[in-house]
Structure 1
């Protein structure tokens, strides 16, 4: 399937067996989580893209219940992955915790498990309703999100596909720009990182995903700012680094980086690009065995390849100043890391890069899913420091 003709996948399923296992290991009879739409744990539990105010989720007796805010009950019933929807405002409760407590009281439940990261007011409000509130480490909850289902992988694969389309647009703009001394002109005006970012983001929007404020475009020295979203002039002979990290309709992220030089490729830019490309290849080779690969093996492969090209890693002025990548899913940065063995179904980025505050930076990034044997890359995209025309 080409990058331009893919339909967006539907809502992924949610398996609550991990919550039932947490409850079985505790003294509680139910699990309660209270948060708003920006909480990735709540999104995972409910698949509900609700409001920017709190609502509650309850798991008890094998039933998942969403305590929806008023005016969102229709959307809640369409989107919720569980069985029941209760609507605040149709009860006597004045808070999401109160609605959750009513659900538990109706079931004769007196102990509610919450994450140890739960807000104090949530615990306090539940206790005020007479509930005992033991806690469970949030890390045990988050461990369930590490290994993605095929449905989740489909969502990430789709977002990455649209991100590649955005990158292709950026590449075409760079290739179609005209040198004017030390400036680069596109459509008769100086090309800046903000203009290029807008071109990328328009493609993301047309593909049904959001840039989420994460489209990084650096030029020359601003490439060394790993999260640069400001406005900078693009010069013909400097590096242009684009890191596109959009979010799809169901909350899953993509992450895709390429680096180009629209004009003359000078010695440092070429050597940096070759080093990063070699590190990327070494990382993929290190992951060739798939599940069970020690993350440290990938880290070492990246660092050794860069060192072979004369670029150090760590707290350095010139070289690679970050890790080889990170887990990605409903959060842009989540477990696992490259400090632990990798398991089948885990989705990670590979993003070696080198930077020089005087010259610029080069980074190449792709997303992979670990399989029992080997890995799957989310699509392919040419690697060339010279941008290709449309």
Structure 2
């Protein structure tokens, strides 16, 4: 059953967009430039690099993707041949690579199968193999025992920085669903009634866990699931950047919600808002005003060509002007003002990096201030860098006092 939502939640498309397909030509180009035998990534469905390369939402058992200058292969685990064919081969972009699924020796370790694929596919006589730094130790040993020398490469992380139109479609939808989850949480807070030290919702004291369940039920209605990382903190626990425990919510204190679910194609949403019910002002209101201004200032500096770290510096300067510290690990601004988002919740670029923002980068803008004895305030949106500025991938109002459904 549909539950009331606070005003401002965006409409959500009925269906998820089609799964993006990855252009492997940058990987093949890195292999050719290095005169290497090939590129190898090994992992399972929990490895984000491999998920990006293969678009294979496969099993929790290891497999490999092997890329040479003109060919690409996925070593499908047993019982996953058809799914691998469908997701890795069918509908693949025209990137100049012939793709195939390899089903031989499915009982062998993934590293052994990767080495065998290289032996068959490599067109270079070179013995170097490019790998992500995260390649499992056993796979590295199997490749070395087969006579290959491993060389770490950042080519996958570099490729993931700039999102395609299809990736942006996935990110827009999951972020819109994330906003719906926030709207449900805000509606619950708006309906809660102060009763001494409690906020009562439907007759019971409201807790962070109850609020978290309301959020996750709403996003599940739209085919998006929580990733076990929905942060809801109240009062002092709102100063815990990743609080996922159970806490009592009292009138007047800050309630911080950081919602970052994962869509069916692996892309994350990320949205944070901070509310207070029956607040009498004080630190909570002052912190909210400072963070809201820092958030707006940071957004004003998001555009192609601006050094990523500049966005952080401008937001930090705004918080300093409001009297909050930026030089402490416990009080004030205690983290970077943003990070990349894609098939990982945290990926390049960091907004502390000294590299220019580029069109297609997708980053969070999330200044915050915290006091472990009082609470925390953070405001976060997910934006895509464009040629002339940025695009909010979905919009949700910023307000201190929660608003009831219309």
TM-score (norm 1): 0.94
How far apart, in 2, do the equivalents of 1:150 and 1:239 lie? 37
Q: Is the 8 A contact 2:366 2:381 kept in 1?
A: yes
Q: Which residue of 1 aligns with 2:139?
A: 122
Alignment match, 2:35: 27
Q: Does 1:270 align with 2:272?
A: no
Q: Work out whether residues 76 and 106 of structure 2, in 8 Å CA contact, stay in contact via their aligned partners in 1.
A: no
User: Pick from 93, 96, 111: which aligns with 1:97?
Assistant: 111
Q: Secondary structure at the match of 1:134?
A: strand
- The structural deviation recorded for 1:337 is 1.4
CA separation in 1, counterparts of 2:247 and 2:10? 33
Does the CA-based 8 Å contact 2:184-2:215 persist in structure 1? yes
Measured in 2, the distance between the counterparts of 1:71 and 1:316 equals 49
Q: Structure 1 residue 357: deviation in Å? A: 1.5
Separation (CA, whole Å) in 2 of partners of 1:336 and 1:107: 33
SS class of match (2:344): coil
Q: Which residue of 1 aligns with 2:367?
A: 352
The 10-residue stretch of structure 1 (57-66 or 359-368) with the greater mean CA deviation from structure 2 = 57-66
Equivalent residue number for residue 134 of structure 1: 150
Show the 5 A alignment for 1:333-372.
333-338=346-351, 339-340=353-354, 341-372=356-387
Q: Deviations over 1:82-125 (max 9, x none)?
A: 521122xx437622222223333334656361326223321221
Alignment of 1:206-221 (within 5 A): 206-221=221-236
Report what 1:203 is aligned to: 218
Q: Which has the larger displacement, 316-325 or 234-243? A: 316-325
Q: Which structure is richer in relative contact order (CA contacts within 8 A, separation 6 or more)?
A: 2
Contact 2:42 2:62 survives alignment (8 Å): yes
**2:250 counterpart of 1:232:** no
Of residues 359, 373, 384 in structure 1, which corresponds to 2:388?
A: 373
Is 2:11 the partner of 1:3?
yes
Which sits farther off after the overlay, 269-278 or 201-210?
Answer: 201-210
State the Cα distance separating 1:233 from its structure 2 match.
0.3
Aligned to 1:18, which of 15, 21, 26?
26
SS in 1 for 2:39: strand
**Corresponding residue for 2:325?**
312
* Corresponding residue of 2:63: 55
Change in Cα spacing, 1:304 to 1:61, as seen in structure 2 (3 Å) is closer
Distance between the aligned counterparts of 2:287 and 2:369, measured in 1?
Answer: 7
The alignment's TM-score, normalised by the length of structure 2, stands at: 0.90
Query: Contact 1:6 / 1:158 at 8 angstroms: preserved in 2?
Result: no
| Mapped pair 1:324 → 2:310 | no
Distance 1:147 1:360 in 2: 36
2:169 maps to 1:154: yes
RMSD, aligned α-carbons: 1.8
Preserved CA contact (<8 Å) 2:254 2:375: yes
Query: Counterparts of 1:217 and 1:100 in 2: how far apart (Å)?
Result: 43
Q: What are the Cα deviations for residues 212-267 of structure 1, in whole angstroms up to 9, with x where unaligned?
A: 01100000000000000000001111110000011111111111000001222422
CA distance, structure 2, for counterparts of residue 5 and residue 22 of structure 1: 38
Q: Distance in 2 between matches of 1:294 and 1:134?
A: 33
- Cα distance in 2 for partners of 1:222, 1:319 equals 15
Partners of 1:145 and 1:213 lie apart in 2 by 24
Q: CA deviation at 1:133?
A: 2.8
Of residues 92-101 and 179-188 in structure 1, the stretch that sits farther from structure 2 once superposed is 92-101
Distance (Å, rounded) in 2 between the aligned partners of 1:135 and 1:295: 28
1:160 & 1:9 partners in 2: Cα distance?
Answer: 13
- Within 2, Cα distance between the matches of 1:133 and 1:387? 58
Residue segments in structure 1 that go unaligned for 5+ positions in a row: none
Instruction: Report the CA distance between 1:143 and its aligned residue.
Output: 0.9
Equivalent residue of 2:65, what SS?
strand
The size of the alignment, in residue pairs, is 384
Partner of 1:254: 269
